[in-house]
Amino acid sequence: MNAQSLAIGCCVLLLAAVLELIRRRRLSEEYAVVWTCTAVALVALSLARPQVDRVAITLGIHYGPTLLLLMLGFFVAAAGLHFSLVVSRQRRQIERLIEDLALLEMRLREIEDSMAPPAYQARSRR
């Protein structure tokens, strides 16, 4: 097995994993598109070795797979930044929800207390 076959095998596996996660609804549509495109692009690039080599030489990179690694590095960094943004946004949303819930809970407690019958009435009903 040569390096190209291994790369193709890994990319096909990634594509299969992405499709399976989409099928099981474990991956939301927002990310499904990104990961499907990524997996397809990686499979295509693994198959198109001569074209990758040509582009690499044009850019002054003498070994084709280095270009692939470089592209992968950029993609991982961009994906990491994107997920940090998502996590930051979700953290703010969760904090806001926790605050809202606590304030609503307190308001509910106050309303319930104001509606509760006085202690002597509660005793006489028993």
Contact positions vs other proteins (CB under 8 A)? 92, 94-95, 98-99, 101-103, 105-106
Beta carbon nearer to other proteins, 20 or 110:
110
How long a stretch of residues is the chain? Answer: 126
Give the nearest distance from C-beta 33 to other proteins in angstroms: 31
How many Å apart are CA 55 and CA 102, to the nearest integer? 58
Beta carbon nearer to other proteins, 20 or 95:
95
Alpha helices in the chain (DSSP H): 3-23, 29-47, 49-58, 64-115, 119-125
Beta carbon nearer to other proteins, 37 or 101:
101
Give the nearest distance from C-beta 123 to other proteins in angstroms: 20
CA angle at residue 25 from 24 to 31, to 5 degrees?
125
